[in-house]
Structure 1
Amino acid sequence: MSSCEVESVFIGAGCNRIVNNVSWGASNLVSFGAQNAVAIFCPKSAQILTTLPGHKASVNCTHWLPSTKFAFKAKHFERHFLLSGDAEGAIILWELTLTGRKWRLVSQIPPHKKGVTCITAYMISDIVAVFASTSSDGKVNVWEVVLPSLEGGECKFSCLDSLHVGSKSMVTLSLAQFPGNTGHLVLAMGGLDNKIHLYCGTKTGNFIHSCELKGHTDWIRSLDFSLPVCTNGEANTLLLVSSSQDKGIRIWKMVLHNSSIKQEGTTLASYIKGPIFVAGSFSYQISLESLLIGHEDWVYSVEWQPPFSIEGNTCYQSESILSASMDKTMMIWQPERTTGIWTNVVTVGELSHCALGFYGGHWSPNGDSILAHGYGGSFHLWRNVGVDFDNWQPQKVPSGHFAAVSDISWGGDYMLSVSHDQTTRIFAPWLKDPILGEGNAWHEIARPQVHGHDINCTTIIRGKGNHRFVCGAEEKVARVFEAPLSFLKTLNHATLEGTGNFEDTQVDMQILGANMSALGLSQKPIYIQTSHETPNRNGSEVLDTLETIPDAVPVVLTEPPIEEQLAWHTLWPETHKLYGHGNELFSLCCDHEGKLVASSCKAQSVAVAEIWLWQVGSWKPVGRLQSHSLTVTQMEFSYDDNFLLAVSRDRHFSIFSFKQTGTDVTSHQLLTRQEAHKRIVWACSWNPFGHEFCTGSRDKTVKIWAIENESSVKLLMTLPPFKSSVTALSWVGLDRQRNSGLLAVGMENGHIELWSISVQRNEDGVASAPNVTRIIQFDPLICHVSSVNRLAWRNSEKREDCGSIELASCGADHCVRVFSINVL
């Protein structure tokens, strides 16, 4: 094997739970922060296209140049730009070339001293933009950026102004150009002092505080200027919409005022009209146009519907506002044609167990779709599919974890992941629909567990027809889950397997789905015979207890599900609890015959660090293996199930040998315990074709070992040092005769490498130093941006006759990834 090609097949990630994080650009792509990465997804395909590495802290906000507000100008643009700010104050400008979808980090802007909370921009021309950023350091910086005219060109920045806003920092901004070709800009900002502050300046800077708009009674959360509104053929009006934690939305009107008319004293009329402020030689009258009441919780986001062009570069500003609130709803507001009174014309929302709602809402460039992002790191997309009347229908969106993904496991055609966001998720390729011709793309198809603790580890029970998994969380008990009938039927639709014989093989299955408990711990089964019965909610037999929560409705999915279906109706019932460990669970593994499960927990003593063995089926503890003095970080059975390898924080590895002594009775003993590395050993993996194994450590090394005569272990070789701590390993076999395979190495910096390994043995079967070659380093654009927590090859023991193999990875950057490796 000389080389291989790597293709990113799938990225699953959730959105950082923060306001201003999402931006929908004129490119019709959506950007959002996923931990330290800027993720890009395509609403049309419902797939995350890439993640951009560069930030060293969590990404707080993103903003496209041009944004949807200027989409009517950008139809011919070949290149689009994106601004992103993070929690340490850094701001990065990215360039996207639509041809080939090539990304480039253009420049890093001088940072704020603290986290960036909002970025807004105004396109002066096709290549000149003014943007403002605000931070919790109490400053608002205004920049002019001259975008490169050629692909790969340099970008020019100039700081127009730096405004000190005091201890009560601003959290939202909006920029606009005054109507009437005055050449003046207006910057609106709002934050913790409940007021909207207006600053006026020119394209060269000198922003001066002009006036304050009072009315809101709580923090200002969102501001958005319209483009100039035409009245009587002249564009002399500007509208500003604001939202607040007081649950209200206000629309403010700015009209070019006749400067020759002297301002009279403070009368009732002038009070209603509001203040007059001066920008250059022009003055503007501000008045409160409308107050919109309808949301029942904080309104985090308001946005004008993007204008559309009429002729050339002239545009018409639609009088339509989208608002998103923590009450789990988004609303569209429009004025009535006859009275001009603003009313709520569309309401869409999320129905789930989650107590919190939406952090933001966004229009598509053409205004036919609206997107929200919520507390659960999830996206919610609705599209107006009506012809003669509005008909907003939910659409497919990408999904994923919104905290570090701690472990993954393959279950044949699907991949299971667990995370510190307290959920377990299943991802699978939804094969091509013969009628629609769409699909063959990966989607989240089930969320078997929504828990009350961060989940650390999982393993799928091996064996055909078995769809069971064990998971361990920040609690002392491991939990066993079994697939309900609704999932098996959904999997049948997704993979198109078992068609025809499926119903016959599932006659004994009586569990249709599962209900969540009130405290989010044990999930109780829903049986087929009771799922059709309507409970008597008003009867005297029904007790009002904590367990009285809305019933789940298990569904068989015939197409990739949306968030509402995943969050509530795809749960698996919990069948067993495994008690025994003294601390929270840390690692799990299952043997290849599906008979034994090994578990370990966090430990600082020999007694607590023991490995427990559980018999699959009866789930009785059948062994307690003592060897290590600190936490066992990973375990793996050899492919013939004769040995169990364990690595630990105590820098040692242990090998336990297993022998079958009778029916379902296995004896085990400690074969050896050796110091392997100078630092914590994070990862291990077996050679699928023998008793060689590798270990990876924080000391940036990977070592390859071999068991000799089933009695001792010798070091075969140490790979050249890596640039970062080795946190994940996975070995896949390619050619049994040559005893060759691929070793995937994941590191703390997020990078992944593939090494070719061919183990040589003499006539006695004794292994010698293997031939190793580094085949490829993955492109950083398809890698993780922080620590790789686990790597796993799909069907790693059955890949001798196939040129293309799939590798899954998960990391601290909230991402789950699947790569297709084509061996050349």
Structure 2
Amino acid sequence: MASVAVTLAHVAVGCNAVSNALCCIHAHPSSPPAYCGAFGAKNAVALLTSASASPLAVTATLQHRVQTQEVTRITSVRLLSTACGLQVLAGDSEGNVFLWRQTAGAWRLLHLSTAVGSGDRIPTASVAAVAVAQTRRRLLCFVAFSDGQLTVFSLREGDDDATVLARLELGVERIMETLDAMLVSGPGDASSSQDDSEESVLLAAGGVDSKVHLLEVEGGGDALTQLLTLEGHHGWIRSVAFQQRQSSESFLLASASQDQRIRLWKVTTSCRSFQTGKEATVEVQHGFQAFGATLVYTVSFDALLLGHEDWVTSVQWTQLPHSDAEDASESHEWTLLSSSMDNTLIVWTKPKTQLEAWLPSLRVGEMGGNGLLSAGVLPALDGRLDLVALSFTGQLERWTQQPAPSKLFLPAISVNGH
């Protein structure tokens, strides 16, 4: 009897209409990852690929095969590409947390909700937001639940047994709707030069209390420490995003809010001198200082971005080729993409002028519509922007920038389905 070979030809599936259900991976333009994004598709996670010679497509779907109710949906997805492989973290509306890890082309599923942690109780409330960070020794998964809990899961290198590292009971008045994490180190810090030392992880969280919270997991530590609270917004925080620089001594944090504004915060790290004995947050010139376990964080307000006419629903940093660069280290410039319920996307840049102000250099959108829940940047082609956005109705919309010197964007083929 002749054998029949069956291969996947096409996947048509829609994205769950939830702000955190869409994630586009951050990567340097010179080294794009195998998958450029992921989104929640009912109870599964769909992985996206985009190449110059082929349209945006779903090339893989990740199933958890856990029995859930019919109305259960994936509510938050985060994709991370590391030297150890690809990591996909997702949570659903029943409080389940899943981690898929790709090794040698094969996917392994870990159900983090069943992790043990000295009697810790895993919430059954809906997952509101997730974030993930890979240090030299372990993978840290941060999960915010809709009942006000913030939980940190830890997986040691080469180990598939997750443990609950820390848990904070923030309460319903401080439900976190968005999370982002990044590795940090100070100048001359031992963790930057010794392979046996672990980096610290800085977590940004925002939600219903209209404040941005900074928290830290010390390198090698097992506690989640609250460092600093940043005030200034007058509406729920819908998105936070770190500028993921290779050198983490100084970087920007963007926060987007329902008050139609984006705030940029400058974060500078330095090694802590234990002779000071200071433990609390102190006010310094043009900002505040918070003392972590081994680092001092100096945070100052950098810029206020005005341009949207409704809720700002997401922000994402990306890098684009910079033709006027004087050296190779400045060959790519940082830009910020924002989406809004006013149905527009704005690309913010900071030209090298005397004022050095952040300006809305590009604006993309359609007349009418029901607003955009989130957006992301796909791998760029010849320095051109390729944008994808999740509409309020669950449709993935895509715009591609035309060749230079044009700044015109045209609608492009995207991925859609039920």
Q: Same fold (TM over 0.5)?
A: yes
Q: Which category describes the TM-score, using the shorter chain as reference length?
A: 0.7 to 0.9
What are the within-5 Å matches in structure 2 for residues 144-293 of structure 1? 144-146=154-156, 148=158, 155-168=160-173, 169-180=175-186, 181=189, 183-203=199-219, 204-228=221-245, 236-256=249-269, 273-293=286-306
Tell me the residue number matched to 2:313.
300
2:380 counterpart of 1:363:
no
Q: CA deviation at 1:161?
A: 1.1
Superposition TM-score, scaled by structure 1 size: 0.41
Shift in alpha-carbon separation, 1:18–1:8, aligned structure 2, 3 A: same
- Asked whether the equivalents of residues 147 and 156 of structure 1 are also in contact (C-alpha less than 8 Å), the reply is no
2:43 counterpart of 1:33:
no
| One-letter amino acid of the structure 2 residue matched with residue 359 of structure 1 | L
Distance 2:157 2:408 in 1: 40
Distance 2:185 2:409 in 1: 34
Q: Structure 1: which 5+ residue stretches go unaligned?
A: 149-153, 264-269, 402-824
2:135 counterpart of 1:121:
no
Give deviations 1:423-453, integer Å, cap 9, x for gaps.
xxxxxxxxxxxxxxxxxxxxxxxxxxxxxxx
- Asked whether the equivalents of residues 35 and 48 of structure 2 are also in contact (C-alpha less than 8 Å), the reply is no
Distance 2:35 2:61 in 1: 17
| One-letter amino acid of the structure 1 residue matched with residue 357 of structure 2 | I
Q: CA deviation at 1:170?
A: 0.9
Q: CA deviation at 1:139?
A: 1.0
Distance 1:371 1:65 in 2: 18
Name the structure, 1 or 2, with higher relative contact order (CA <8 Å, separation 6+). 2
| One-letter amino acid of the structure 1 residue matched with residue 178 of structure 2 | T
Tell me the residue number matched to 2:196.
none
Shift in alpha-carbon separation, 1:305–1:178, aligned structure 2, 3 A: same
Tell me the residue number matched to 1:378.
395
Distance 1:117 1:316 in 2: 37
Distance 2:49 2:179 in 1: 26
Q: CA deviation at 1:369?
A: 2.2
Shift in alpha-carbon separation, 1:112–1:364, aligned structure 2, 3 A: farther
Shift in alpha-carbon separation, 1:138–1:292, aligned structure 2, 3 A: same
Q: CA deviation at 1:199?
A: 1.4
Q: Structure 2: which 5+ residue stretches go unaligned?
A: 26-32, 114-121, 192-198, 278-282
SS in 1 for 2:356: coil
Distance 1:363 1:281 in 2: 34
How many residues align structurally? Answer: 369
Distance 2:138 2:269 in 1: 25
Distance 1:98 1:360 in 2: 32
Distance 1:49 1:327 in 2: 31
| One-letter amino acid of the structure 2 residue matched with residue 112 of structure 1 | P
Shift in alpha-carbon separation, 1:200–1:307, aligned structure 2, 3 A: farther
Distance 2:271 2:36 in 1: 42
**What percent identity do the matched residue pairs reach?**
27
- Asked whether the equivalents of residues 361 and 372 of structure 1 are also in contact (C-alpha less than 8 Å), the reply is yes
Shift in alpha-carbon separation, 1:280–1:106, aligned structure 2, 3 A: same
- Asked whether the equivalents of residues 218 and 294 of structure 2 are also in contact (C-alpha less than 8 Å), the reply is no
Distance 1:132 1:258 in 2: 25
Superposition TM-score, scaled by structure 2 size: 0.78
Distance 2:19 2:331 in 1: 28
What are the within-5 Å matches in structure 2 for residues 355-504 of structure 1? 356-365=370-379, 368-388=385-405, 390-401=407-418
| One-letter amino acid of the structure 1 residue matched with residue 240 of structure 2 | L
Distance 1:47 1:380 in 2: 13
What are the within-5 Å matches in structure 2 for residues 670-819 of structure 1? none
Tell me the residue number matched to 1:780.
none
Shift in alpha-carbon separation, 1:28–1:51, aligned structure 2, 3 A: closer
Tell me the residue number matched to 1:108.
111
Distance 2:23 2:272 in 1: 38
2:334 counterpart of 1:319:
yes
Distance 1:194 1:221 in 2: 9
- Asked whether the equivalents of residues 179 and 237 of structure 1 are also in contact (C-alpha less than 8 Å), the reply is no
Q: CA deviation at 1:319?
A: 2.5
Give RMSD over aligned pairs.
Answer: 3.2
Shift in alpha-carbon separation, 1:187–1:307, aligned structure 2, 3 A: farther
Give deviations 1:666-708, integer Å, cap 9, x for gaps.
xxxxxxxxxxxxxxxxxxxxxxxxxxxxxxxxxxxxxxxxxxx
Q: CA deviation at 1:90?
A: 0.7
Q: CA deviation at 1:141?
A: 1.1
| One-letter amino acid of the structure 1 residue matched with residue 18 of structure 2 | I
| One-letter amino acid of the structure 1 residue matched with residue 209 of structure 2 | D
Q: CA deviation at 1:396?
A: 1.0
Distance 2:164 2:403 in 1: 46
Tell me the residue number matched to 1:803.
none
| Corresponding residue to 1:58 among 63, 73, 90 | 73
Q: CA deviation at 1:179?
A: 3.4
Shift in alpha-carbon separation, 1:216–1:38, aligned structure 2, 3 A: same
| Corresponding residue to 1:340 among 356, 369, 372 | 356
SS in 2 for 1:20: helix
Shift in alpha-carbon separation, 1:147–1:166, aligned structure 2, 3 A: same
Q: Of the two, which has the highest radius of gyration? A: 1
Shift in alpha-carbon separation, 1:118–1:7, aligned structure 2, 3 A: same
SS in 2 for 1:280: coil
Give deviations 1:286-317, integer Å, cap 9, x for gaps.
11000001001111101111599x9xxx9988
Shift in alpha-carbon separation, 1:205–1:27, aligned structure 2, 3 A: farther
- Asked whether the equivalents of residues 386 and 392 of structure 1 are also in contact (C-alpha less than 8 Å), the reply is no
Distance 2:350 2:244 in 1: 17
Distance 1:316 1:277 in 2: 33
Shift in alpha-carbon separation, 1:92–1:374, aligned structure 2, 3 A: same
Q: CA deviation at 1:117?
A: 1.3
- Asked whether the equivalents of residues 93 and 107 of structure 1 are also in contact (C-alpha less than 8 Å), the reply is yes
- Asked whether the equivalents of residues 50 and 379 of structure 2 are also in contact (C-alpha less than 8 Å), the reply is no
Give deviations 1:147-166, integer Å, cap 9, x for gaps.
65xxxxx6242322111111
